[in-house]
Amino acid sequence: MPTSTITSLNGLISTLRTVVQKLVLFTALMVFAPLITFFLTQYVSGSSIISGGLAAAVANIVLVGYIVVAFNEDVKLEKTDEKEGEKLD
């Protein structure tokens, strides 16, 4: 196997690993952060309405955080041959 192929495969594996790590992190945050917020607020205030509202707000914050991280992620695009983009008439 050529060295360039091995290098590109290692880069792909590294990229996939970081994507999966981010996905697992934000999935765990999406599950546990609102639950922890709900029960802690319920314990402190005793109001289900306030607890539910704060839990929903935390879920939205996690979702927006995931979107921001996804848009700021570096994507390495491979150069394509310019002739491939030309139309044949």
Residues 6+ apart with CB under 8 A from 70: 22
Scanning the structure block, which residue is given the tokens 């290692």? 10
Per-residue tokens: 23: 């996905």
**Domain ranges in the chain?**
3-69
Hey, which of 9-18, 49-58, 68-77 has the most confident mean pLDDT?
49-58
How do residues 44-62 score in pLDDT, each as one tens digit? Answer: 999 999 999 999 999 999 9
Model's pTM, two decimal places?
0.71
Report the 10 Å Cβ neighbour count for 49: 8
Per-residue tokens: 65: 């955080």
Query: Using N-to-C axis directions, what is the helix angle for 48-72 and 3-45, rounded to 10°?
Result: 160
**Is the pLDDT assigned to residue 1 strictly greater than 70?**
no
